[in-house]
Amino acid sequence: MKTIIFLLAFIPLAAVHAQKPTTMQKDRQVLFDFRVSDEGTPAKIAPATQRMVLSKVFRRYLTDANRCKSNGELGEDYLGAARKAGQIVPSISDVETGSFTAPGQMQTLYVIDVAECNASHADNFGTKRVAIFSGQQLVADVDTDFASSIVRKTDLNSDGIDELLMTTGDMAQGTVTEMATLVNFQGGRRRVIQDFGVVVEDSCAAEMAGSTSDASVLYLSDVVPGNMPKVTQENYTASCRGKTKRWRLVSRGKRQ
């Protein structure tokens, strides 16, 4: 690999960048600015809702990590083996409402941190899933490729199906890294509309000489109902010195 994502040891970065959808104009405008950190309140899920969702997604699971068993013999797909054995301690990390699998639906989408027992930093501390419900009926259950947070919901092509800008991230040795993808779940399957790669790389917490804060801004243009608009990416850098960051454009397109 929301550098492989271990985060997102960044705290369910989920709530970190939440922004409300806006009506798109024809002129170029910002889809999301990762230079701005808007730390919101993590989603609060009622215990009864948590139990309902998790019991419909998983046949069996643990509620206490202390009940995890040792790995034993590790196979190639040891995370899959842990899920099959019920050796997981899942929890809901994010939630959004909208029409995700088809137009005109009233659905709730939950992002689940599966937390397979003994999953390590290298495993992003476990896989992530999206579960979509219509009322209490589970209509979709898909792997998110480790994306763990929703930062924006929108319907860019006005087809009645909401897309999600999702992130996955990691913090290691004082450096925060975040990756982003624009996806939809039409028909109950995850489809990547655009992969933006690394959109945040901030080493300021390491307090080392030469540390920088790097972040991307995603822009929309050619917004016409019925067509998916063009999404472009600009990448900026700023020194960690000083109270106010002075951002400088360094490249356009997906960061290499």
Q: pLDDT tens, 186-200? A: 999 999 999 999 999
Cβ neighbours around 130 below 10 Å, total: 25
3-state class (DSSP) for residue 28:
coil
CA 85 to chain centre: 26
Structure tokens at 32: 């999301």
Q: Kindly give the parts of the chain with pLDDT less than 70.
A: 1-27, 38-40, 71-75
**pLDDT at residue 210, rounded to an integer:** 84
**pLDDT at residue 75, rounded to an integer:** 67
Considering all CA atoms of the chain, what is the largest pairwise distance in Å, rounded to the nearest integer? 57
- What is the torsional sign of CA 95, 188, 6, 247? negative
- The strand pairing partners of 37, in sequence order, are none
**pLDDT at residue 8, rounded to an integer:** 35
Residue 241 identity (one-letter amino acid): R
Yes or no: say if 95 and 108 are a contact pair by the CB < 8 Å rule. Answer: yes
Q: pLDDT tens, 78-126? A: 899 999 999 999 999 999 999 999 999 999 999 999 999 999 888 889 9
List, as one string, the DSSP characters of 166-193: EEEEEEETTEEEEEEEEEE-GGGS-EEE
Element (H, E) at 56: helix 47-57
In the sheet where 128-134 sits, what is the strand order? 91-98, 107-113, 128-134, 137-143
